Structure 1
Amino acid sequence: MTFLRTLSYVHGQSVDPDAGRYADKMDPRTGEKLCDVAQSEASDLDRAADSSADALAAWKNLRPTQRGRLLVELARVVRAHGSALGEIEALETGKPRQEMPALIDLVAQFFEYYGGIANAMDGELVNVGPAYHSYVVREALGVIGVILPWNAPLHQAARAIAPALAAGNTVLAKPSEHTSGSLVEMARLAVEAAGLPPGVLNVVVGQGTVIGPAMVANQHVRKISLTGSLRAGQELGRLAAERVMPLTLELGGKSANIVFDDADLDAAVPGSVRAFTWNSGQWCAAGTRLLVQENIHDVFVERLVEAVGRLRIGPEDDAAAGPITTRAQYDKIASYFEVAAALGVKAAIGGRLPVDPRLERGWFIEPTVYTGVTNDMPLATEEIFGPVLCVIPFKDEADAVRIANDSPFGLAAGIWSRDIGRVHRVAGRLEAGRIVVNEYGGGFVQNPCGGYKLSGYGREQGMDALAHYTQQKSVIIRL
């Protein structure tokens, strides 16, 4: 499947950019041109925001159950068109196609979940005495801006869009210019197949440096949800401060994955491999700091390296990992091999660009494991956003918690142990928004997701997300 041009989708129509400019989208598997992508300007964003604002009143005044039924229908449509959506995302990101069915199912789950609880935002009666009738209601904020990364386009989009729509907001989404096609297609299906009114979900395609500031400046936009880098979050925060605009930010991570000496190594080894190689390491919750209790360190590393060595990376649909999605990110990851060499840190496996002829054309990185890393090295402090793991030994529980928390980030963490008391003690002391025990994964739609410290603020997923896309109003009546 190929597509010649990716355009914005506004008010139920594909829209060319005002300036008539397009950029090349490159195929990460081959480095060759895949399609043209619209380069929208501030005027394009403003027109889309007008559409979102025009659609707002009718959408938020629908009964919550009516909105819910439309979102559940969108889930059905996503599943029905899953092959096409998955094909677009696989082409744009380079993900192995075998991963697409599970990803599409997760996207559908977001719309099912929030469609099912759209009427759960109950008000609250406040007892302030017999002379008053007082209550609190939650209302939609208005037009919600959603700025998305390139590593998981549909998943990240559904995670923000579904609760925002369920709460009665309209959504103006800006996908990454590197991976816009799958979201544009889902927005088209939302209107043309699922029956969402035009303007309820608009998608503007273009450079983040252009569309992001324009979105913040547009007076129709009342809140922005951003998933991206720390730098992107900081820049957006500075701009939003001028308007006192609320934000939800999920930013970088350098998550600790902790293996105690009583762990089930048959589970911990493959789980730790997946923690840093899934999606070629391109996920902000990746477990890229592997903390291993020192008395099992050598045995664990030996088994880990053996498991990594069996992984097959490549352009094939059934490969364990595909390419890095953008050339800039590929170059960034490769630069850390030079950082490691300058520090005198040697790789137990990997640590170089692939020499396999199958991989010469695309942006492939060998999964890399570094040992002899201390927690103050750039390999351990900076988000590399690729399949690069640093292994750090620890002495005991207290030492593991100290090392894990000695990071500016706090998005996720993993614990491997058979001791349930230890699990609860350590989980209670870790500074991370999501902690997974005896596996390493992304949690569930029902679980809130977000960061501590520089990993951001606000929460996606779960019931809490609805609160982040609404505002409270108190009504106090003297009787």
Structure 2
Amino acid sequence: MTHMDKWSVADDLDLKMVIGGERIEASNGARIQTEDPATGRVIGSFPAATADDVGRAVENSRAALKGDWRSMTPTARGRVLARAAAILRREAERMARVETLDSGKPLREAKGDIETSASYFEYYAGMADKLQGDSIPLGPDYMSFTLHEPVGVTAHIIPWNFPLTTTARGVAPALAAGCTAVVKPAALTSLTSILMADILEEAGLPAGVYNVVPGHGREAGSALVAHPDIAHVTFTGSVATGIGIMQSAATHVASVTLELGGKSPLVVLADADLDAAVEGTLKAIYMNAGQVCSAGSRLVVERKVHAAMMERLVPRVEAMMPGHGLDDAAIGPLVSAAQVGLVAGFVDDARKANSLNVVAGGRRLSPAGMEKGHFYAPTIIDDAPMDARVVQEEIFGPVLTVQIVDSPEEAIAVANGTEFGLCAGIYTRDISRAMAFARDVDAGQVFINQYFAGGVPTPFGGTKMSGFGREKGLAALASYYRVKCITTRL
């Protein structure tokens, strides 16, 4: 068996877009090829939706709001979502393999993503029949109560780093609330979002409730957000694009949920369990090769333990061997050649403009048999000043910047020293200091003596330039229903 045979999938991955339950080509016949980031080999393709295609999908989803989906009881909706979770778990091996080939991430991470996606559908299945209103006591001569109604057609603009989990994270609560969804997956990684349509169809979801229009953001994405029949937009991506989406949605007064990335700090105080802190740091920054909006990309370490922390951390990073995701390598490739260039530019700038000390990595890689892949070595930049570009800007790659502080108070100030506020973490044995940090740090999620803790039930979202609105947990549902108040005189 050759490497290329090993790094393949049995499925036909030349897919079509999904509108109204039909698998169709783009109206102009255009298609996008998708490649395996580890080898540069084309593994599949899908249509490049036009603005006309997007318009048809939105119109179809609007019609589906008034069809069988509207008449279905909340309990029946929940059963559809529960069946989708079960089918997705049945198909987990195949879906994980496709996700790895499309995005490059190690297979163990892709398997985790598929399970998380199934968990979203399972979690919100249990909520579909619990979105109940309130009674309002106005006195004996009145009766007043509230209803929760679906907002309507929802748009989901999906990033390329977590294709299926981000799709499920937004679509599952939208469907639980009775909305319909039009999904625009990232042009780099559209496969699993399209394949999800087959799973939802088998689960009994009526045609048109989940439509998928893959394509380029400048055409398909822009047309979707600007469509006057879109009631809510859920977007994960860059700050600049998020601002543009908010402006476009405002023209027809659509609500938005924006998750716009971060530059999250992971603080290690002098009393911390350093071995645990090293494990947490490795997970925080090198999962999915650092292509994670909530990555702990800034290690803020108290000076007393800086040397000891680096003595433990640097050898571990240097030992991480890159490889193909299907081989479950320690670290996989970046998603594209352009992303490698972006990451390399940040590190080169740190060396040249700021004379910063790159103590691990800092170079492009070409593993044997994957010379056309998009690899960059896991990297550590030590003792970076607050105003350095690698500290202030989101790199979205396997690059950890280390900042040294002299006190817990300075650690909080440094943690808050960027325009982002998505996540923050702290390692300390002093629970009072940990809780003070959690109180004072400007972030939407705080992890204590761990990183990436929580899961599907825990609300997720940012402050400052990291965006607004919350996904996951019960908080996510509020984006997808509106409250109607009914009052009558008796």
Identify the TM-score tier after normalising by the shorter chain. Answer: over 0.9
Contact 2:106–2:331 (CA under 8 A) maintained in structure 1: yes
C-alpha distance in 1, partners of 2:39/2:291?
18
Relative to structure 1, is the Cα distance of residues 355 and 43 closer, same or farther in structure 2, using a 3 angstrom cutoff? Answer: closer
Counterpart secondary structure, 1:134: strand
- Superposition deviation, residue 427 in structure 1: 0.3
Counterpart secondary structure, 2:203: coil
C-alpha distance in 2, partners of 1:157/1:55?
19
Counterpart secondary structure, 2:452: coil
Counterpart secondary structure, 2:192: helix
C-alpha distance in 1, partners of 2:292/2:453?
10
Contact 2:347–2:390 (CA under 8 A) maintained in structure 1: no
TM-score, structure 2 normalization: 0.95
Counterpart secondary structure, 2:343: helix
C-alpha distance in 2, partners of 1:50/1:130?
45
The number of aligned residues is 478
C-alpha distance in 2, partners of 1:357/1:70?
46
C-alpha distance in 2, partners of 1:100/1:277?
14
1:188 maps to what in 2?
Answer: 198
Instruction: Report the AA paired with residue 202 of structure 1.
Output: N
Report matched runs for 1:155-194 at 5 Å. Answer: 155-191=165-201, 193-194=202-203
C-alpha distance in 2, partners of 1:296/1:358?
40
TM-score, structure 1 normalization: 0.97
Of residues 92-101 and 264-273 in structure 1, the stretch that sits farther from structure 2 once superposed is 92-101
Contact 2:344–2:364 (CA under 8 A) maintained in structure 1: yes
2:246 maps to what in 1?
Answer: 237
Contact 1:85–1:186 (CA under 8 A) maintained in structure 2: no
**Residues 1:434 and 2:445 aligned together:** yes
Report matched runs for 1:59-74 at 5 Å. Answer: 59-74=69-84
1:370 maps to what in 2?
Answer: 381
2:300 maps to what in 1?
Answer: 291
Deviation by residue 1:95-118 (Cα, 9 ceiling, x = unmatched):
122323222111111011000111
1:262 maps to what in 2?
Answer: 271
- Superposition deviation, residue 359 in structure 1: 4.7
Residue 310 of structure 2 is aligned with which of 296, 301, 305?
301
Deviation by residue 1:412-433 (Cα, 9 ceiling, x = unmatched):
0111111111111110111100
Counterpart secondary structure, 2:364: coil
- Superposition deviation, residue 356 in structure 1: 4.5
1:48 maps to what in 2?
Answer: 57
Deviation by residue 1:146-203 (Cα, 9 ceiling, x = unmatched):
0000001011111000000000001110000111111111111210x21111111111
Instruction: Report the AA paired with residue 311 of structure 1.
Output: M
1:274 maps to what in 2?
Answer: 283
C-alpha distance in 1, partners of 2:239/2:408?
30
1:202 maps to what in 2?
Answer: 211
Relative to structure 1, is the Cα distance of residues 362 and 433 closer, same or farther in structure 2, using a 3 angstrom cutoff? Answer: same
Report matched runs for 1:50-199 at 5 Å. Answer: 50-57=59-66, 58-191=68-201, 193-199=202-208
1:350 maps to what in 2?
Answer: 361
C-alpha distance in 2, partners of 1:455/1:99?
24
Contact 1:9–1:188 (CA under 8 A) maintained in structure 2: no
Contact 2:366–2:372 (CA under 8 A) maintained in structure 1: no
Contact 2:171–2:181 (CA under 8 A) maintained in structure 1: yes
Relative to structure 1, is the Cα distance of residues 4 and 104 closer, same or farther in structure 2, using a 3 angstrom cutoff? Answer: closer
1:217 maps to what in 2?
Answer: 226
C-alpha distance in 1, partners of 2:473/2:194?
25
Moved over 6 A (4+): none
C-alpha distance in 1, partners of 2:313/2:424?
19
C-alpha distance in 1, partners of 2:115/2:156?
21
2:38 maps to what in 1?
Answer: 29
- Superposition deviation, residue 235 in structure 1: 1.0
Aligned residues: percent identity? 40
1:332 maps to what in 2?
Answer: 342
C-alpha distance in 1, partners of 2:113/2:444?
22
Instruction: Report the AA paired with residue 160 of structure 2.
Output: W
Contact 2:232–2:479 (CA under 8 A) maintained in structure 1: no
Deviation by residue 1:330-387 (Cα, 9 ceiling, x = unmatched):
1111111221122101211011112654553200010000012012110000000000
Residue 464 of structure 1 is aligned with which of 475, 482, 487?
475
